């Protein structure tokens, strides 16, 4: 029987899942994901994680519990640095330790460390050490790794073209897409935030769908090409050290300075450390560019749909009025 | 003349003040963080910024009102937020109309030229390099003496006969050191300080508990930010050993590194092998070490939303069980009140006392 590796459907899932899945499949290993975030998953996480942790970490704890007992391995790599420049949030760095030392009865945790600053080919080496658990053939692992990399490229390209992670994953499997958005589109917003917040419909309280229903086309982080981000670089006094934060902030700078959107929303989670800085920089920047309305929304474990919807509606109305007034002038 | 200020972090301002003045700057002394400092910081800082961030912002706003035009502080390259503090502070101050200059020191090991340039920027008296080095050495000497006084206060406070004597003597020794300007004077003040502490009448029969204090550097070092937890514990008959002093931190970051840190990292290895920024790994390591040294308990203090300390706390639950040492954690924010803290401390100290008596009984009982 094939070994089963459990992958929590949160955090890195949205960024790398197709790659991981391909890699394991090539090695004859089955990947099992937890279900989409639900009340139960969140409650389980809230119970086990430290009260002071941020919402996404609590959600992660919930997903891990959902996988417990169903898999032979848990895949929680320690991802430190992938681009040679920025590292991940300290909570990501300590994730395998937090999980191992606070939950009991876990299957074996694959917590391979990945830091490209350590050595050349660090990513390949990390995959090799993961692969060796399941195969003795270096060639086989290499082939799996190369295929995985190719899948990742395709996946990223699909998202760059405007598919959400979920849609892009379906497209990769040649499955049918959901019918594209309804309603007439009249506005474009950039919704900036970490993928595991923006694309987790439960945590984001369905924000993307709601915006669509209000006639707003949404651009997310995945659709911002790296060259825009790199260009925004010099304008910030000091780069953020955290990969996602760096991208979120630079994307916002891009939109503030070059336009292309009617409004910018920063979606952030209660208790997030890095975001307290990111959000303030965005707010300061937005004051320099008052022509693009900016709103920041903080979600927590009790965020209600109704409250969020009212705020969104008010914001969309305001932006629309502003746009019409400008067109009239 | 440059009008400089710097973070108020425990007694270190006494040494920094001398150094900055020796280099020819006017020092706008950072006031001891107060309710007003915090209120100012809270008003203009991001809501979820950590407590030290808010206090520092408040400090800068208070000193800016007195004409301060240059902030001297340290940066760091993460992984935690502290590395961004200074620049965001400056951005916020500017948006409020205070055009302040920022001299933010990064590690001289990694950026030696940058370090040299910044020193020169602050060298208003145009001292020769040799004189600058001498001035730094004097400052370092003073800082070491100040740390020494603080260690003594931790040791003697729980044993004093009359409550409050130690704190009074401690303040007195700080004032002496503040006045000392040369190496000889510093040494003299230090010796006088040691003597003054020894002269405090003590109760030799009191049973004193030993507690290790771990956590985030700012709230550990600045008593105003931790609601004077060390003094409070001392008055409850608890001897505190703090895992961090500024002199130790400086050696770890700028110099060769202390043995303490090396062994803390080693002790943390089985639980938290990764450097997660701030002092999360040290917190875990020191807890293990305190337990090995038979301390009665450990108290962790950290700012609310402090990322590395949250990771550490999550792991400490297990460490506490395996190493059989009680751990109490305080996440501090602007709403934390002293009364609530005292109540929790009393309960914790009570528990430690009963535990200790119980262990003594067990050992005494014939098996
Ligand atoms: S970046 Fe923020 S939300 Fe994400 S894990 Fe870190 S603290 Fe939590
Ligand atoms: S270690 Fe804690 S207090 Fe220090 S910057 Fe990081 S989050 Fe803030």
Taking the centre of ligand 2 as the mean of its atom positions, its distance from the CA of residue B308, in whole angstroms, is 7
Picking from A52, A281, A287, the nearest residue to B88 by CB comes out as A281
pLDDT of residue B78: 46
Q: Which of residues 279-308 of B touch A (CB under 8 A)?
A: 280, 304-308
pLDDT of A255-265, one tens digit each? 999 999 999 99
Please enumerate in sequence order all residues whose Cβ is within 8 A of that of B11, keeping only pairs 6 or more positions apart, or say none. Answer: B146, B149, B150, B174
pLDDT of residue B48: 79
Does residue A178 have a pLDDT over 80?
no
Instruction: Please compute the mean of the pLDDT values over residues A61-90 and round it to a whole number.
Output: 89
Q: Evaluate the omega torsion of the peptide bond into residue B79 and state whether it is cis, within 30 degrees of 0.
A: yes
Quick one: which H or E segment has residue B267? helix B259-268
Q: Are A35 and A143 contained in the same domain?
A: yes
| pLDDT-wise least confident of A11-15, A230-234, A266-270 | A230-234
Does residue A90 have a pLDDT over 70?
yes
| pLDDT-wise least confident of A120-129, B183-192, B251-260 | B251-260
Burial letters for B48-69: b for 16+ Cβ neighbours within 10 Å, e otherwise?
bbbbbbbbbbbbbbbbbeeebb
> Whole-number mean pLDDT of chain B?
89
pLDDT of residue B269: 86
| pLDDT-wise least confident of A221-225, B84-88, B144-148, B180-184 | B84-88
Ligand of minimum distance to the alpha carbon of A12: 1
> CB-based contact (8 Å) between B80 and chain A?
yes
Does residue A71 have a pLDDT over 80?
yes
Contacts of B48 in chain A (CB under 8 A): 270-273, 275-276
Quick one: which H or E segment has residue A92? helix A90-93
pLDDT of B97-156, one tens digit each? 999 998 888 777 777 888 888 889 999 989 998 999 999 999 999 999 999 999 999 999
Query: For residue A277, what is the domain's CATH number?
Result: 3.40.50.11900
pLDDT of residue A1: 64
| Pairing, β B238-242 against β B209-215 | parallel
Residue A113: inside a domain: yes
Mean pLDDT is highest, among B74-83, B274-283, B350-359, for: B350-359
Please enumerate in sequence order all residues whose Cβ is within 8 A of that of A236, keeping only pairs 6 or more positions apart, or say none. Answer: A249, A250, A253, A281
Contacts of A287 in chain B (CB under 8 A): 95
Q: Are A24 and A110 contained in the same domain?
A: yes
Does residue B282 have a pLDDT over 60?
yes
Residue A29: inside a domain: yes
Q: Are A288 and A231 contained in the same domain?
A: yes
A308: pLDDT confidence band, cut at 50, 70 and 90? confident
Instruction: Please compute the mean of the pLDDT values over residues A230-252 and round it to a whole number.
Output: 77
Q: Are A243 and A161 contained in the same domain?
A: no
pLDDT of B256-270, one tens digit each? 566 667 788 888 888
Residue nearest to atom 2 of ligand 1 (CA): A272
Taking the centre of ligand 2 as the mean of its atom positions, its distance from the CA of residue A267, in whole angstroms, is 22
A314: pLDDT confidence band, cut at 50, 70 and 90? very high
Q: Are A21 and A70 contained in the same domain?
A: yes
Instruction: Supply the DSSP symbol for A34.
Output: P
pLDDT of A19-45, one tens digit each? 999 999 999 999 999 999 999 999 999
pLDDT of B292-305, one tens digit each? 999 999 999 999 88
Across B6-126, where does the E strand assignment appear? Answer: 26-27, 70-74, 101-105
Structure-block tokens of residue B71: 């902030």
Q: Are A119 and A204 contained in the same domain?
A: no
- For chain A, what is the radius of gyration of the CA atoms? 20
Ligand of minimum distance to the alpha carbon of B82: 2
Q: Are A129 and A190 contained in the same domain?
A: no
> CB-based contact (8 Å) between B83 and chain A?
yes
pLDDT of residue B246: 83
Give the minimum alpha-carbon distance from B167 to chain A in angstroms, rounded to a whole number.
34
Distances (CA, A) of A59 to A5, A43, A50, A56, A248: 19, 8, 11, 5, 21
With H, G, I as helix, E, B as strand and everything else as coil, classify residue A31.
Answer: strand
Residue A178: inside a domain: no
Q: Are A71 and A25 contained in the same domain?
A: yes
Q: Is B319 in Cβ contact with A238 (below 8 Å)?
A: no
Taking the centre of ligand 1 as the mean of its atom positions, its distance from the CA of residue B307, in whole angstroms, is 9
**Domain ends where: A121, A136, A168?**
A168
Please enumerate in sequence order all residues whose Cβ is within 8 A of that of A7, keeping only pairs 6 or more positions apart, or say none. Answer: A13, A17, A20, A21, A31, A32, A33, A34, A67, A75
Percent of chain A with pLDDT over 70: 94
Q: Which domain holds residue A112?
A: 4-168
ipTM: 0.75
Is residue B32 within 8 A of residue B100, CB to CB? The reply is no
Give how many domains chain A has, as a whole number.
2
Residue A323: inside a domain: yes
Rounded to whole angstroms, how far apart are CA atoms A264 and A271? 21
Picking from B49, B84, B313, the nearest residue to A238 by CB comes out as B84
Contacts of B311 in chain A (CB under 8 A): 90-91, 93-94, 97-98
Picking from A78, A90, A277, the nearest residue to B79 by CB comes out as A90
Residue A177: inside a domain: no
Instruction: Please compute the mean of the pLDDT values over residues B7-25 and round it to a whole number.
Output: 93
pLDDT of residue B77: 47
Residue A120: inside a domain: yes
Indicate which of A253, A280, A281 best probes the interface with B, i.e. most B CBs within 10 Å of its own CB. Answer: A280
> Whole-number mean pLDDT of chain A?
88
Rounded to whole angstroms, how far apart are CA atoms A244 and A198? 12
A182: pLDDT confidence band, cut at 50, 70 and 90? low
Q: Are A162 and A24 contained in the same domain?
A: yes
Q: Are A134 and A223 contained in the same domain?
A: no
pLDDT of residue B33: 94
The side-by-side arrangement of strands in the sheet containing A216-219 is: A216-219, A187-192, A263-269, A294-299
Residue nearest to atom 3 of ligand 1 (CA): A272
Q: Are A197 and A68 contained in the same domain?
A: no
**Domain ends where: A143, A168, A193?**
A168
Cβ-based interface (< 8 Å): residues of A facing B: 49-50, 52-53, 78, 80, 87, 89-91, 93-94, 97-98, 101-102, 113, 237-238, 240-242, 270-277, 279-281, 284, 287
pLDDT of residue A51: 80
Residue A76: inside a domain: yes
**Domain ends where: A106, A139, A168?**
A168
pLDDT of residue B41: 93
Picking from B78, B315, B331, the nearest residue to A98 by CB comes out as B315
Residue A89: inside a domain: yes
Residue nearest to atom 7 of ligand 2 (CA): B306
pLDDT of residue B228: 94
Contacts of B310 in chain A (CB under 8 A): 50, 52-53, 91
Q: Are A12 and A161 contained in the same domain?
A: yes
User: Which residue in B has a C-alpha nearest to residue A113's C-alpha?
Assistant: B274
pLDDT of residue A41: 93
């Amino acid at each position: 029987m094939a070994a089963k590796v459990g992958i929590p459907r949160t955090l890195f899932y949205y960024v790398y899942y197709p790659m991981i899945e391909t890699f394991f499949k090539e090695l004859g290993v089955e990947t099992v994901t937890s279900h989409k975030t639900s009340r139960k998953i969140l409650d389980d996480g809230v119970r086990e994680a430290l009260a002071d942790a941020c919402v996404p970490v609590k959600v992660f704890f919930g997903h891990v519990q959902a996988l417990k007992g169903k898999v032979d391995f848990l895949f929680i790599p320690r991802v430190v640095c992938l681009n040679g420049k920025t590292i991940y949030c300290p909570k990501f760095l300590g994730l395998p330790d937090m999980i191992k030392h606070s939950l009991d009865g876990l299957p074996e945790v694959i917590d391979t460390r990945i830091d490209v600053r350590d050595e050349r080919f660090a990513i390949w080496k990390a995959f090799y050490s993961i692969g060796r658990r399941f195969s003795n053939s270096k060639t086989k692992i290499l082939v799996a790794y190369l295929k995985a990399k190719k899948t990742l490229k395709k996946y990223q390209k699909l998202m760059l073209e405007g598919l959400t992670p979920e849609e892009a994953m379906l497209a990769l499997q040649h499955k049918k897409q959901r019918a594209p958005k309804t309603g007439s589109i009249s506005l474009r917003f950039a919704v900036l935030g970490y993928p595991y917040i923006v694309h987790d419909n439960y945590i984001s309280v369905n924000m993307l769908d709601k915006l669509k229903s209000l006639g707003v086309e949404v651009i997310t982080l995945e659709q911002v090409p790296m060259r825009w981000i790199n260009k925004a670089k010099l304008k910030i006094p000091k780069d953020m050290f955290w990969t996602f934060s760096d991208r979120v902030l630079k994307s916002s700078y891009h939109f503030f300075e070059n336009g292309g959107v009617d409004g910018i929303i920063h979606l952030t989670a209660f208790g997030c450390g890095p975001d307290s800085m990111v959000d303030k920089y965005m707010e300061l920047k937005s004051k320099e560019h008052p022509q693009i309305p900016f709103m920041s929304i903080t979600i927590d474990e009790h965020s209600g749909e109704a409250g969020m919807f009212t705020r969104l509606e008010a914001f969309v109305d305001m932006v629309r009025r502003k746009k019409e007034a400008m067109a009239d002038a | 003349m440059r009008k400089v200020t710097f973070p108020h972090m425990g007694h270190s301002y006494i040494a920094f003040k001398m150094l900055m003045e020796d280099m020819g700057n006017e020092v706008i002394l950072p006031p001891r963080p107060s309710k007003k400092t915090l209120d100012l910081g809270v008003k203009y800082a991001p809501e979820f910024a950590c407590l030290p961030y808010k206090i520092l912002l408040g400090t800068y706003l208070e000193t800016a009102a007195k004409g301060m035009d240059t902030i001297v502080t340290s940066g760091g390259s993460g992984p935690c937020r502290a590395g961004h503090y200074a620049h965001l502070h400056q951005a916020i101050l500017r948006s409020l109309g205070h055009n302040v200059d920022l001299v933010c020191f990064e590690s001289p090991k990694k950026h030696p030229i940058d370090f040299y340039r910044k020193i020169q920027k602050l060298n208003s008296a145009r001292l020769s390099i040799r004189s600058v080095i001498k001035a730094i050495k004097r400052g370092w000497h003073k800082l070491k003496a100040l740390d020494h006084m603080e260690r003594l206060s931790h040791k003697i406070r729980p044993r004093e006969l009359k409550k409050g004597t130690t704190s009074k003597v401690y303040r007195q020794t700080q004032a002496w050191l503040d006045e000392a300007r040369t190496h000889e004077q510093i040494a003299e003040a230090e010796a006088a300080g040691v003597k003054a502490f020894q002269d405090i009448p003590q109760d030799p029969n009191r049973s004193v508990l030993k507690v290790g204090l771990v956590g985030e550097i700012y709230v550990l070092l600045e008593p105003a930010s931790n609601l004077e937890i060390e003094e409070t514990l001392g008055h409850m008959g608890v001897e505190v050993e703090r895992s961090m002093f500024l002199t130790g931190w400086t050696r770890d970051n700028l110099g060769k590194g202390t043995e303490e840190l090396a062994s803390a990292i080693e002790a943390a290895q089985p639980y938290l092998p990764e450097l997660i920024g701030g002092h999360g790994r040290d917190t875990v390591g020191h807890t293990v070490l305190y337990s090995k040294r038979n301390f009665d308990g450990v108290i962790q203090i950290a700012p609310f939303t402090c990322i590395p300390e949250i990771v550490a706390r999550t792991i400490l639950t297990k460490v506490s069980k395996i190493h059989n040492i009680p751990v109490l954690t305080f996440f501090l924010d602007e709403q934390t009140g002293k009364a609530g803290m005292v109540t929790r401390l009393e309960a914790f100290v009570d528990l430690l006392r009963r535990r200790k008596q119980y262990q003594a009984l067990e050992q005494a009982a014939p098996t």
